[in-house]
Amino acid sequence: MNKIIVAALSFLMLVTIGCKQQERKQQPLSYSPATPPAQLPLDQLEQAAKMAPKTAQTWISLGNALMDAQRFGEAVDAYEKALALEPKNVPVLVDQGTCYRGTGKFDKAVEQYRKALKIDPKFPNGHRNLGVVLGFDLNRKAEAIKEFNRYLELEPPGPEADSARKALQELNSSK
């Protein structure tokens, strides 16, 4: 079923882009069926989301692109639409929490991280991101230390292990 949806979405995007190419012949075609949605330009992702509003991956790709562009409020909305379709998508809950942090809504970020960790207590980035907000935004150092330690238990050589260790040092030295 997902392959059919992705194929249909790819076809619709290709048709839409083809139509736009006829309007703007000076621009090269920026999409091919092999191009993952996440690599499409933001305007094309927005169009894809409108064309396939019942496809969670389209909203996730749009949310990711908006988050990368630091358009956190809009990313929260895109992730909300993805979560309406896939309410237990842990990475999306964590990403949405990060976007709430980007808008200064630290309590809402904590809520999303905790919701994600309730579904999957072994999701490392949920613990690390929760540690960041608790320790550096909300000054709840003891809770943050616990979360960074949990991240390191789950991902000792993980991609953010060094930054987690540095955060722990900083939090422990400022107690």
* Cα gap 110→96, rounded to integer Å: 10
Q: Is 80 exceeded by the pLDDT of residue 28? A: no
Whether 34 and 47 map to the same domain: the answer is yes
Structure tokens at 68: 């990368």
Assign residue 142 the CATH number of its domain. Answer: 1.25.40.10
* Calpha distance 53→74 (Å, rounded): 16
> 1 and 82: one domain?
yes
Tell me the average pLDDT of the chain. 82
Same domain, 5 and 80: yes
Residue bearing tokens 């200064």 = 104
pTM of the predicted protein model? 0.76
Number of domains in the chain: 2
Task: Examine the fold and report which residue of 70, 86, 102 is the final residue of a domain before the chain moves on.
Answer: 86
Q: Quickly list DSSP for 102-141.
A: HTT-HHHHHHHHHHHHHH-TT-HHHHHHHHHIIIIIS--H
Instruction: Clarify whether residues 96 and 118 are in a common domain.
Output: yes
Residues 92 and 79 reside in one and the same domain? no
Write out the residue range of the structural domain in which residue 148 sits.
Answer: 88-175
Structure confidence by residue, pLDDT tens digits, 115-154: 999 999 999 999 999 999 999 999 999 999 999 999 999 9
pLDDT at position 38 is: 52
- From 86, 102, 126, give the residue that closes a domain: 86
Residues 146 and 156 grouped into a single domain: yes
| Chosen domain end from 86, 114, 131 | 86
